[in-house]
Chains A and B, each alone.
Chain A
Amino acid sequence: MKSSESLYFPVRELRYHVRAWGPADAPPLIMLHGWMDNSASYQFTVDALKQNWRVLAPDWRGNGGTQWAKTTYWFQEFLADLDALLDQLSPQAPVNLVAHSFGASLSMVYAGTRPQRIARLLNVDGYGSPDWRPEGMPERYVRLIDLLKKEPRLRDYPSLAEFEARLKQQHPRVTPERIAFIARAWSRVNAQGRVELLADPACASNFSMQFSSRPDDAMACWRAITAPVHMLLARQGGVIERSDDLSDGRMEQRLANLRTADISWVEDCGHMVHLERPEALAARIDAFFPYVHPASPANTAAQPS
Chain B
Amino acid sequence: MKTSESIYLDIRGLRYHVRSWGRQGAPKLFMLHGWMDASASFQFFVDALKGDWHVLAPDLRGYGQTQRQGSDTYWFPDYVVDLDCILEHFQPEAPVNLVAHSFGGNIACIYSGSRPQRIARLVNIDAFGPRAEGVKPARLEFREQTPAEKTQVEVPPKRYAEWLDRIKKGSKFRDFDAFVDLEKRLAREHPRVTPERLAFLARHWGRLREDGRVMMATDPHNAQNDGIHISVRMDDAIACWNRITAPVLWLIADEGAMKSRAKELANGGAEQRLQQFRTRREVHLPETGHMVHIEKPELLAQLVEEFMTEKSA
Contacts and interface: CB of A to CB of B under 8 A. Distances in A.
Interface of A: 12-13, 69-72, 74, 76-77, 79-80, 83-84, 87, 109, 112-114, 134-139, 141-142, 144-145, 148-149, 211-212, 214, 217-218, 220-221, 223-224
Contacts of B231: 74, 76, 212
B163 interface: yes
Given A139-B114, A141-B114, A223-B154, 4 more contacts: A12-B71, A70-B13, A142-B115, A144-B77
Contacts of B168: 83-84, 87
B85 A113 contact: no
Contacts of B233: 134, 214, 217
Nearest to B235: A134
Nearest to B111: A141
A214 B114 CA distance: 18
The 4 A-B pairs with the shortest beta carbon distances in the complex, nearest first, are A141-B114, A134-B235, A217-B156, A220-B154
A114 B80 CA distance: 30
Nearest to A141: B114
Contact of B239 (A13, A134, A144, A145): A134
A224 B167 CA distance: 22
B163 A80 contact: yes
A198 B77 CA distance: 27
B157 interface: yes
Secondary structure dominating the interface of B: helix
A240 B164 CA distance: 34
Contacts of A113: 157, 160-161, 164
B307 interface: no
B154 A148 contact: no
Nearest to A83: B164
B288 interface: no
Contacts of B72: 12-13, 80
Contact of B157 (A69, A74, A112, A138): A112
B contact residues, range: 35 or more
B236 A137 contact: yes
B304 to A, nearest CB: 26
B70 A224 contact: no
B12 A224 contact: no
Given A70-B71, A76-B230, A224-B154, A142 B77 contact: no
Contacts of B243: 138
B167 A12 contact: yes
Given A138-B240, A217-B156, A144 B161 contact: no
B155 interface: yes
B239 A138 contact: yes
A87 to B, nearest CB: 8
13 contacts: A70-B70, A71-B75, A76-B227, A79-B164, A113-B160, A134-B142, A134-B239, A145-B81, A145-B114, A218-B156, A220-B155, A220-B156, A220-B157
Contact of B73 (A77, A87, A135, A218): A77
A207 B61 CA distance: 22
Nearest to B14: A70
Contacts of B235: 134
Interface in B202-234: 227, 230-231, 233
B84 A221 contact: no
Given A134-B236, A148-B12, A224-B157, A141 B167 contact: no
B177 interface: no
Contacts of B156: 217-218, 220-221
A149 B77 contact: no
Contacts of A224: 154, 157
Given A70-B13, A80-B167, A141-B240, A13 B110 contact: no
A75 to B, nearest CB: 9
B244 to A, nearest CB: 9
B166 to A, nearest CB: 10
A137 B81 contact: no
Contacts of B142: 134
A218 B157 CA distance: 8
Please indicate which of the listed interface residues B81, B110, B157 has the most CB atoms of chain A within 10 Å of its own CB: B157
A224 B161 CA distance: 12
A138 B81 contact: no
Nearest to A222: B157
Nearest to A143: B114
B69 interface: yes
B46 interface: no
Contacts of A144: 77, 80-81
A114 B164 contact: yes
Nearest to A111: B157
Nearest to B226: A76
A142 B114 contact: yes
B289 interface: no
B252 to A, nearest CB: 24
Contact of A74 (B13, B75, B111): B75
Contacts of A221: 154, 156-157, 160
B1 to A, nearest CB: 36
Contact of A134 (B80, B111, B163, B238): B238
Contacts of B73: 76-77, 80
A145 to B, nearest CB: 5
B71 A141 contact: no
B130 interface: no
A221 to B, nearest CB: 5
B85 A149 contact: yes
A13 B167 CA distance: 11
